[in-house]
């Protein structure tokens, strides 16, 4: 597929850039990170603003409110969002980036009609109930049980790392519906309304100081059978659809933002002085920044490949695991580089001497979790080895 930008793509870029130039400054600054009701209002408000202007989820089919955007239009969209430093998708991440796309690919007509328009407009916030404290990186070892009782499943279990659960309306929940089956065979994918009796949420404070992660305790929660996505015990296949969106295209805008972050590191290096010389005068530092830019160019080329494949098949390909692996590990190296450029100023959570210490430190600390989120780097390497390279499986 030709991914060079056409005249029509550049026209779309001009229109979208013009809209962002007005809309982003007018929308204002985000609220404090600990004010969750305000964060929900801010993030869903930006989603609604995009929707009203016709720029929400442009890759989704027109019949569900998207624009059926071409692969190159999607790439232009990601580039312009990052260039304008527009508000991030934030608490809408799960619903927009992989929950909604999973429903479009696997949901019933009723499920799509009920949820997709509301996700698109910022009226529904989703979280993810996949990981469990006893399963570690082996997601298929999950033990949360769902027992059929008439038209409901009765769910009992414990989830962890449930991002934004405290402000979510629904959760994409994995449960074990056949404990006697092999571990990958007895799983089902449920839509869990977060207002049901029996749900308890416990926040987990992170290094950054935020409580975006949560534990989710489920005791005799009755979930309607009609909220199951896919067939009973076919949840592992549906899960892999979700994970392909999560690892394949969900990070595209964040990946392009890494280029802006590296440019900010270079600007800071021109400001910082050490031993009467600028940090930028260090040849080794400039070489490291150059190598990082080359890796970012390669990563963006891999994103282009993933967007192109997703447009042809409806689901990102397995190569998305390589994108996720390189993105998350490169993000950690960029965070480390930013801290080395700042030097002692990197010890401050506030800006120091005109340097962006607050953002650099927050980015560096948050990057630590990225090699765990959406599957650890070890899991990604196993998938690359076994499913892409065809190497023998681990024993």
Which residues are catalytically annotated?
246
> Could you give the CA distance from residue 40 to residue 32 in angstroms, rounded to a whole number?
11
Phi and psi at 51, nearest 5°, equal -60, -45
Let me know: does 47 contact 57? Beta carbons within 8 Å.
no
Asked if 220 and 154 count as a contact pair (C-beta separation under 8 A), the reply is yes
Phi/psi at 170 (5° precision):
-140, 160
Closest CA to 125 of 225, 194, 59: 194
Q: 287-290 long-range contacts, Cβ below 8 Å, gap at least 24?
A: 288/337, 289/262, 289/265, 289/337
Q: Which residue has the tokens 């997601």?
A: 139
Angle (nearest 5°) at CA 257 between 253 and 261: 165
Core vs surface per residue 338-366: b (16+ CB within 10 A) or e: bbebbeebbeeeeeeeebbbeebbbbbbb
- What separation in angstroms does the CA of 276 have from each of 96, 108, 265, 272, 281? 49, 66, 19, 10, 10
d(CA 104, CA 164): 22
Q: Which residues pair with 149 in a beta bridge?
A: 152
């Amino acid at each position: 597929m030709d991914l060079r930008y056409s005249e029509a793509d550049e026209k779309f870029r001009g229109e979208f850039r013009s809209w962002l130039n007005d809309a982003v400054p007018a929308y204002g600054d985000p609220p404090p990170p600990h004010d969750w009701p305000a964060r929900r209002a801010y993030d869903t408000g930006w989603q609604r603003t995009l929707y009203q202007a016709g720029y929400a989820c442009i890759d989704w089919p027109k019949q569900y409110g998207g624009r059926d955007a071409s692969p190159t239009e999607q790439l232009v969209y990601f580039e312009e969002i990052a260039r304008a430093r527009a508000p991030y998708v934030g608490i809408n991440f799960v619903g927009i980036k992989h929950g909604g796309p999973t429903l479009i690919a696997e949901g019933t007509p009723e499920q799509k009609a009920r949820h997709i328009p509301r996700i698109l407009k910022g009226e529904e916030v989703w979280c993810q109930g996949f990981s469990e404290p006893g399963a570690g990186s082996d997601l298929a070892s999950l033990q949360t049980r769902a027992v059929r009782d008439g038209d409901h499943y009765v769910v009992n279990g414990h989830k962890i790392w449930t991002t934004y659960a405290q402000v979510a309306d629904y959760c994409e929940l994995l449960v074990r519906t056949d404990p006697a089956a092999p571990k990958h065979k007895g799983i089902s994918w449920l839509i869990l309304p977060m207002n049901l009796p029996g749900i308890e949420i416990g926040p987990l404070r992170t290094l950054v100081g935020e409580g975006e992660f949560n534990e989710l305790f489920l005791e005799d929660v009755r979930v309607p059978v009609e909220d199951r996505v896919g067939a009973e015990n076919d949840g592992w296949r549906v899960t892999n659809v979700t994970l392909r969106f999560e690892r394949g295209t969900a990070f595209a805008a964040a990946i392009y933002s890494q280029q802006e972050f590296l440019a900010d590191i270079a600007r800071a290096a021109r400001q910082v002085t050490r031993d009467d010389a600028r940090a930028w005068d260090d040849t080794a530092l400039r070489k490291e920044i150059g190598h990082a830019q080359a890796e970012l160019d390669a990563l963006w080329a891999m994103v282009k490949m993933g967007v192109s494949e997703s447009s042809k098949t409806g689901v990102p390909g397995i190569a998305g695991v390589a994108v996720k692996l390189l993105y998350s590990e490169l993000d950690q190296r960029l965070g480390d580089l930013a801290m080395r450029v700042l030097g002692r100023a990197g010890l401050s959570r506030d800006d120091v001497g005109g340097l962006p210490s607050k953002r650099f430190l927050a980015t560096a600390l948050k990057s630590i979790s990225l090699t765990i989120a959406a599957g650890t780097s070890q899991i990604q390497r196993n998938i690359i080895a076994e499913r892409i390279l065809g190497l023998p499986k681990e024993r």
